[in-house]
Amino acid sequence: MSIYKDKVSKTLENARIKNMLRGTLIAAIYFTSTVLIPFWTFSWIKTINVEGVELTAYKEQVNRIIFYVWAFGLIISGTAFFAYSSPPQSIRRGVFALIQIILNCLYLWSYKFSGALEIEFKLVDLGIITVNLQQMILLYMGIYFLTVILKSYDLIDFVVNRNRIKHERGKK
């Protein structure tokens, strides 16, 4: 019996390490995609040159956008770590995945209120250039809404079938 317990504890320890590494890797991916890439993009937009004329967006508007990118990006990366470091088909993983999807919706919604959906560039002699991203953000919001429904279903499934999942996990 002692050999079996040692084998099970070793297997569980390996699974914990694997889950932690997976959580760290996914959190790094989310940090890159929700913080670094948007930060670099909006920093680049601040200093675009078109035909020798420097386009300068409103600094206050871009700074507000960058604030929301950092704030929500860090929270999303943290929840991604907890969601993906949890065991598969666990209630904890379902809860953090649902929270993460809702935070992603808020992240996209913050683009609307931070002024990132409609950026105006004023060119001295050429006029005004307006970039409108409202339809793209609404499309993503629709996709995330469907994902919220899917993650809610998964969470309900994890709760309802909890005993069966634990039994199957114990067999492995």
Place of tokens 């996914």: 26
Place 12 in a pLDDT band, splitting at 50, 70 and 90. Answer: low
Instruction: Evaluate whether 74 touches 103 at the Cβ level (below 8 Å).
Output: no
State yes or no: pLDDT of 1 exceeds 60. Answer: no
Place of tokens 């913050």: 110
Rounded to whole angstroms, what are the CA distances from 156 to 35, 80, 89, 100, 146?
31, 20, 11, 16, 16
Q: Tens digit of pLDDT for each residue in 43-97?
A: 777 776 666 666 555 666 777 788 888 888 899 999 999 988 988 888 888 888 8
Higher pLDDT, 46 or 39: 39
Place 29 in a pLDDT band, splitting at 50, 70 and 90. Answer: very high
Question: Residues for the chain: how many in total?
Answer: 172
Give the model's pLDDT for residue 127: 74
- Calculate helix-pair angle for 134-160, 162-171, nearest 10 degrees: 80
**Average of per-residue pLDDT values in the chain:** 78
Instruction: Evaluate whether 45 touches 62 at the Cβ level (below 8 Å).
Output: yes
Give the model's pLDDT for residue 167: 73
Give the model's pLDDT for residue 75: 92
Query: Average pLDDT, stretch 17-40?
Result: 89
Q: Tens digit of pLDDT for each residue in 87-124?
A: 888 888 888 888 888 888 888 777 777 766 676 766 66
Query: Average pLDDT, stretch 11-15?
Result: 69
